[in-house]
């Protein structure tokens, strides 16, 4: 079926009730964000409590918290028995800080994005970002939420990705702009003879070293601090992993980053690029199309790219055998794999 046919069917399915539901769609996420930011789940997982008792513990208004708890219960994230609230099995597992499967960091990251999204019309009107870059310019809780939120997401997928990609015989991996180093950790776990370097901004170091140490990988994974656009990233790697980085930059900077990655590789080195990938029409999948707007709001030139655009950048940098790996990933994400061509003039250092 052609994209135009699919688009027509999508438009035909829209109704006035669906449109109004879409217009108010932010209410439920904001309710979730408030519950996580106030940390109600971490307290209620210990024992059921009344709204009044929890309000006293959290030092918040009892009336407001009572409304929030009832809304969270309506969303099946809390239980109410008589006048006491408690967590569900799901919220205890994913929304209480005590749980090893806690996803509150990425939820808080989304909370910090809301203000920028409310100014999307301004970003579209002027074509420039209306909030600070989460990866560069923020500090405190917002930066922690971004970095550990990236860990939340990556930790859900990295074990499956690392198991699906054959790195047998490879010895040194560069996790470029690797954040907490989640993928470096799981690639090394999957490949006992592999060592890795996480390259990212200096502010990322404490989070990365904490995660590496938590997984017992400090002897195999090092952290190097720098700005990948202007600083040297090293050389002699036989794998470079570039995950969800290119969408934060414009086409020229992306091309320079991919060329830099090529220069860091040995002959026949392997480049792996993970991104939210648009089809050629740029209208599907939905998540990459919306994610492009998220980049408009938060970066000077970032955007989601099509598979053709990414493949062209990679080939221009001197890679061949570019192909998309048959790994099913959520939200329109995909992984492109390419092998460095040692004969390419673009790669002479």
pLDDT digits (tens, 9 = 90+) for 139-170: 678 888 988 999 899 999 999 999 999 999 99
How much is the pTM? 0.89
What is the per-residue pLDDT for 13? Answer: 81
Q: What percent of the chain has pLDDT above 70?
A: 93
What's the pLDDT score for residue 139? 64
Percent of the chain, pLDDT > 90?
86
**b/e code 145-155 from CB counts within 10 Å (16+ = b):** bbbbbbbbbbb
When pLDDT is cut at 50, 70 and 90, the band that residue 340 belongs to is confident
Question: Residue ranges of the alpha helices (H) in the chain?
Answer: 3-13, 16-23, 27-37, 40-44, 51-58, 62-74, 89-94, 104-117, 120-126, 140-164, 182-190, 205-214, 251-263, 286-298, 307-316
Q: For tokens 């997401």, name the residue.
A: 153
| Torsion angles phi and psi, residue 141, rounded to 5 | -60, -35
pLDDT: is 345 or 29 the higher one? 29
Burial class (CB in 10 A: 0-12, 13-18, 19+), 315: middle
CB atoms within 10 A of CB 22: 10
Pick the CATH number of 15-101 from 1.10.150.120, 1.10.10.10, 3.30.450.40, 3.30.365.10: 1.10.10.10
Q: Is the pLDDT of residue 11 over 60?
A: no
State yes or no: pLDDT of 267 exceeds 50.
yes
pLDDT, tens digit (0-9, with 9 covering 90-100), for 183-205: 999 999 999 999 999 999 998 99
Residue boundaries of the structural domains of the chain: 15-101, 140-347
Q: How many CA atoms lie within 13 A of 294 on its CB side?
A: 16
Rounded CA separation 141/195 (Å): 31
- pLDDT, position 4: 39
* Better-predicted residue by pLDDT, 65 or 6: 65
Fold of 140-347: Rossmann fold (3.40.50)
What was the pLDDT predicted at 260?
97
List all residues 6 or more positions away from 97 whose beta carbon is below 8 Å from its beta carbon. Answer: 39, 41, 42, 104
Task: Using the predicted structure, report yes or no on whether residue 342 has a pLDDT greater than 70.
Answer: no
pLDDT tens digits, one per residue of 202-249? 989 999 999 999 999 999 999 999 999 999 999 999 999 999 999 999
Q: Beta strand pairing status for 172-176 and 237-243? A: parallel
Neighbours of 55 (CB within 10 A): 21
Q: What is the pLDDT of residue 7?
A: 42
- The answer on pLDDT for 253 being more than 60 is yes
8 pLDDT band, cuts 50/70/90, is very low
Q: Please, which pLDDT band fits residue 1 given cuts at 50, 70 and 90? A: very low
Over the stretch 96-135, which tens digit does the pLDDT of each residue have? 999 999 999 999 999 999 999 999 999 999 999 999 876 6
* Contact criterion met (CB below 8 Å) for 267 and 100: no
Pick the more confident residue, 138 or 236.
236
| 306 φ/ψ angles, rounded to the nearest 5 degrees | -80, 165
């Amino acid at each position: 079926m052609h994209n135009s046919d699919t688009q027509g069917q999508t438009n035909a399915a829209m109704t006035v009730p669906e449109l109004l539901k879409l217009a108010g769609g932010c209410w439920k996420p904001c309710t979730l964000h408030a519950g996580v930011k106030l940390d109600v789940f971490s307290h209620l997982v210990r024992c059921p409590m009344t709204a009044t008792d929890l309000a006293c513990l959290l030092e918040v208004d009892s009336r407001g918290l009572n409304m929030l708890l009832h809304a969270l219960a309506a969303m099946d994230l809390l239980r109410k028995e008589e006048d006491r609230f408690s967590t569900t099995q799901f919220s205890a597992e994913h929304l209480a800080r005590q749980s090893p499967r806690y996803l509150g960091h990425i939820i808080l990251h989304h909370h910090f994005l809301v203000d920028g999204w409310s100014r999307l019309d301004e970003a579209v009107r002027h074509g420039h970002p209306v909030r600070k870059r989460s990866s560069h310019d923020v500090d405190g809780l917002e930066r922690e939420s971004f970095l550990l939120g990236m860990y939340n997401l990556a930790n859900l997928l990295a074990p499956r990705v690392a198991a699906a990609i054959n790195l047998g015989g490879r010895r040194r991996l560069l996790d470029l702009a690797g954040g907490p180093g989640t993928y470096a950790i799981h690639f090394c776990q999957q490949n006992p003879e592999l060592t890795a370097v996480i390259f990212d901004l200096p502010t990322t170091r404490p989070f990365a070293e904490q995660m590496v140490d938590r997984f017992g990988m400090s002897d195999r994974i090092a952290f190097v601090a720098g700005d990948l656009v202007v600083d040297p990233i090293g050389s002699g790697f036989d794998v470079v992993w570039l995950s969800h980085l290119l969408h934060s930059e414009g086409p020229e900077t992306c091309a320079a980053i991919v060329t830099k990655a090529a220069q860091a590789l040995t002959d026949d080195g392997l480049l792996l690029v993970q991104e939210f990938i648009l089809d050629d029409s740029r209208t599907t999948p939905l998540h990459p199309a919306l994610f492009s707007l998220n980049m408009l709001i938060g970066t000077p030139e970032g955007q989601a790219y099509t598979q053709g655009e990414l493949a062209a950048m990679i080939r221009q940098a001197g890679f061949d055998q570019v192909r998309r790996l048959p790994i099913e990933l959520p939200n329109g994400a995909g992984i492109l794999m390419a092998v460095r061509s040692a004969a390419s003039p673009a790669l002479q250092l």
